[in-house]
Amino acid sequence: MAYVMVVDDDADFANVVATVLRRDGHEVAIRLDTKSALADMEKRRPDAIVLDVMFPEDESAGFVLARGIRSREDALKDVPILILTAINAKFPLGFSAQDIDDQWLPVSDFLEKPVDFEILRGKVAKMLGKAGG
C-alpha cells in the first residue's frame, strides 16, 4: 500500500480522487492548500503526489509547489508528482504532458480535468512502479 497525498482546493473533487485511490488499497491524505501540504510532506514523505495547479491564493501555486519540491536537497525531491488540473479550461494555453520539463514543469505526469478515473488510476500505478490499476 502506498501513501498518496492529494493536493486540491476543491474538497469534493479531492474526496472523489481519494475514494478512487483508496479502492486500489492506497492510504490517501487530502490537503486543500499548498502550504499545509508541504508542511505535512516534510513530516511524512508521500510515495506520490496528485497536485492541482490553480488555488485561490495563487493560480499557479501547484507549479510553484512542484518546483519547490524538485529543488529540495532531501528525499522529497524524488517523489512522483501527477499534475491534475483544469488550467486549460480556464486559460486556453494548451498545457499537456509534452510540457513536462525539469525546470518549468518538473512533474512525472499530467492529467486534465474532467478526469477519467481509470486513467488516473493507471497513471498513479505507473508512478508507483506498478502495472495495472
Res 113: pLDDT: 87
- Over residues 10-27, the mean pLDDT reads 97
Give me the sign of the Cα torsion angle 13, 130, 110, 113: negative
Query: What is the reported pTM?
Result: 0.88
3-7 and 27-31 beta bridge pairing? parallel
Q: Does the pLDDT at position 125 exceed 90?
A: yes
CB atoms within 10 A of CB 76: 16
The full set of domains in the chain, from first to last, is 3-127 (3.40.50.2300)
Res 79: pLDDT: 97
Distance (Å, whole) CA 32 – CA 54: 11
Res 132: pLDDT: 45
DSSP reduced 3-state for 7: strand
Each residue of 77-117: pLDDT tens digit? 999 999 987 664 555 555 555 555 566 567 889 898 889 99
Res 97: pLDDT: 53
Q: Does the pLDDT at position 126 exceed 60?
A: yes
Res 112: pLDDT: 86
3-7 and 48-51 beta bridge pairing? parallel
